[in-house]
Amino acid sequence: MKIAKRVLVYGMGLSGQAVCKLLHKHGVCVSFYDDENRFGNFFNFDKEPTRHHYDMVVVSPGIKVIGNQIISHFVINKTPIYSELDIGFMFCRGRFVGITGTNGKTTTTSLVGKIFSEAGKDNIVCGNIGLPIASVCEKAGSKTYLITEVSNFQLELSRVFSCQTACILNIAPDHLDRHGSMAEYVRVKRKILSNKKSQKVILNFDDEYSKGSKISKKNLYFSKNILNKGVFIKNNAIYYNKTKIISLNDIPLLGEKNLENVLASVAIAIANKIKPRFIKSAIMSFKPPAHRLEFLGKFNGALVYDDSKATNLPSVEGALKALNGGNILILMGGRNKDLDFDDFFRKGYKLTQVLCFGEAGQEIYHSAKKFNYEALLFDKMIDACEYVKECAVENMIILLSPACASFDEFASYAVRGEQFKEYIFGQGKITQKD
């Protein structure tokens, strides 16, 4: 396909690198810029991008848009700005299944991919889950489904990306430091809906923002409560209208949040005409991705869970409801995303201790103390883990559920989770998970 002659790629994470390779392959003159100085000596690095003319700018999802002078420069000069989603979409012949939401995207995307594979449908699991669309777009044939985790960062600057099936799992306060307001965050999330009559739209009937995203008789809703039509729970099982899909006892995932993920996955599969037997088989054999309320094993008799992916308060609340225990020692901290911890602590969750660490540690500590929780403040996560190893006892639950981004100490939530595992299980009496 034809594309602009001179393109600037802004941001050299995995997405930016994939875009550079794809465009270069098609004969485009590609330059790139990144806020980190370590790329300064690379070939085609543009140290002063605002001094040069470009036909198009592609902005990686890791780049903050609001207040960005470089992006503002190109907007003022009416240079077309696209996201990595757009570029991958432009070069792809496949069918996109887009999944977004504040929580549950990765688990749902992974499960949907497994269901499609079980049904024999050619698919590629990609997007925010770790595999940029630009790196796989040309591998897809006309009958390939691209099961795509779509983040708000990816949607923010998207112009042409569209998917045949779109799902909004839920929308709760998150990334307000990036978008400036809840209204803007919701607007960005809803960009996944193309308003094309042919688009299949999956919405969460139990979530105010998801349910209200689009008014159409063709919407397929899912709910933990009985619906007149849709995917819902009845008699301890998931149903699609009058058809039983799977008993709740056969679902290996833990907690209400994961139950929502399963309901959404069933609805997406139904919308794409996958038979119930394939859906049930895939769910029963599914193992959740790491760092999402992952049971790591026992340390000195205490149960240890890694929920490093919980980078906002609704995720933490979901974890606590799933564990449903009274003797929980929780580790919280990292970089706050303009979330109000008072809203969380005033709900009165049963927590034995709150171990606070990182940039937001002091803020979390003061909020916890305000609501009479026993809280301790640590400089870094490793310091909190050393304390955990000293006080871990039988029947205690140790939960890393930070409610914050990882970027004050770690490159990602995954790195944070792996470090947590290493810190806890480096020494002491260990019983690894089965």
**Residue 401 pLDDT > 80, yes or no?**
yes
According to the model, what pLDDT value does residue 178 have?
65
pLDDT grade for 172, boundaries at 50, 70 and 90: confident
268-313 pLDDT, tens digit each: 999 999 999 999 999 999 987 789 899 999 999 999 999 999 999 9
pLDDT grade for 429, boundaries at 50, 70 and 90: very low
**Measured distance CA(384)–CA(376) in Å, rounded:** 9
By the 8 A CB rule, do 250 and 280 touch? yes
**Measured distance CA(2)–CA(13) in Å, rounded:** 25
Would residue 121 be called left, alpha or beta, if left means φ above 0 and alpha means ψ between -120 and 50 degrees?
Answer: beta
**Measured distance CA(428)–CA(426) in Å, rounded:** 7
Alpha-carbon torsion angle 40, 412, 101, 271, nearest 10: 90
255-265 pLDDT, tens digit each: 888 999 999 99
**Residue 266 pLDDT > 60, yes or no?**
yes
For residue 81, the SS3 value is strand
pLDDT grade for 190, boundaries at 50, 70 and 90: very high
According to the model, what pLDDT value does residue 67 have?
87
According to the model, what pLDDT value does residue 213 have?
84
Phi, psi angles (nearest 5°) of residue 228: -70, -30
> How large is the average pLDDT for residues 41-51?
90
The dihedral built from the CA positions of residue 422, 426, 430 and 434, taken in this order, carries a sign that is: positive
Average pLDDT, the chain: 92
Which structure tokens are listed for 283? 């769910």
According to the model, what pLDDT value does residue 433 have?
45
Helix then strand count (H, E) for the chain reads 16, 20
pLDDT grade for 181, boundaries at 50, 70 and 90: confident
Which structure tokens are listed for 330? 């929780």
According to the model, what pLDDT value does residue 434 have?
40
According to the model, what pLDDT value does residue 396 have?
95
According to the model, what pLDDT value does residue 310 have?
93
Percent of the chain with pLDDT over 70: 96
Could you tell me the pTM of the whole model? 0.81
By the 8 A CB rule, do 268 and 95 touch? no
102-122 pLDDT, tens digit each: 889 999 999 999 999 999 999
The dihedral built from the CA positions of residue 46, 49, 51 and 56, taken in this order, carries a sign that is: positive
**Residue 177 pLDDT > 70, yes or no?**
no
According to the model, what pLDDT value does residue 326 have?
77
**Measured distance CA(229)–CA(398) in Å, rounded:** 41
**Residue 376 pLDDT > 60, yes or no?**
yes
DSSP 197: T
345-372 pLDDT, tens digit each: 999 999 999 999 999 999 999 999 999 9
379-388 pLDDT, tens digit each: 999 999 999 9
**Cα separation values, 159 from 19, 58, 171, 220, Å:** 16, 11, 21, 25
**Residue 432 pLDDT > 90, yes or no?**
no
1-36 pLDDT, tens digit each: 567 789 999 999 899 999 999 999 999 999 999 988
Percent of the chain with pLDDT over 90: 76
CB atoms within 10 A of CB 374: 12
According to the model, what pLDDT value does residue 179 have?
60
